[in-house]
Structure 1
């Protein structure tokens, strides 16, 4: 049964592609290898392979700061240049703590 299936597959490969089965499978293998290499360059980062050391080095973010009303000059102190202060952004009169998105 398996031998008949292999013979049918060989004939189909030759009929549809014009290649011998060995050439066909070599081309398929090279195509897959090229795909994996190229997708490794352009693919997103794989979060499953992050070393544990990197996870342990991350420190928790400080709690949000409640400022109330501030002037534009006071808000400029929280522009992200001092890493000990939160990064604040004002949009339409509302102040947001965007420290997590540095």
Structure 2
């Protein structure tokens, strides 16, 4: 059972002021490769799983931005942690219709 939701907005500073989109796409690929459930939103991506594993994904994302050439990265992270009852994107979104 997942015990956490982690949302991240990753903001790499690009070397020459170029678009951050390729960097963000790579960050989302890292989430995909982690094999955790996730939902991409317009301003952040939310992952579902074990808190320690999700924080490891966040670490890898930040390190990859630097490896790709970003001199620095700001990551805005939100964590919902519920080790007793678990955490679920589906449960939180159940009452909202998908458009």
Q: TM-score, normalised by structure 1?
A: 0.23
Higher relative helix content = 1
- Structure number with higher relative contact order (C-alpha < 8 Å, ≥ 6 residues apart): 2
The structure with the larger Rg is 1
Q: Which has the higher strand share?
A: 2
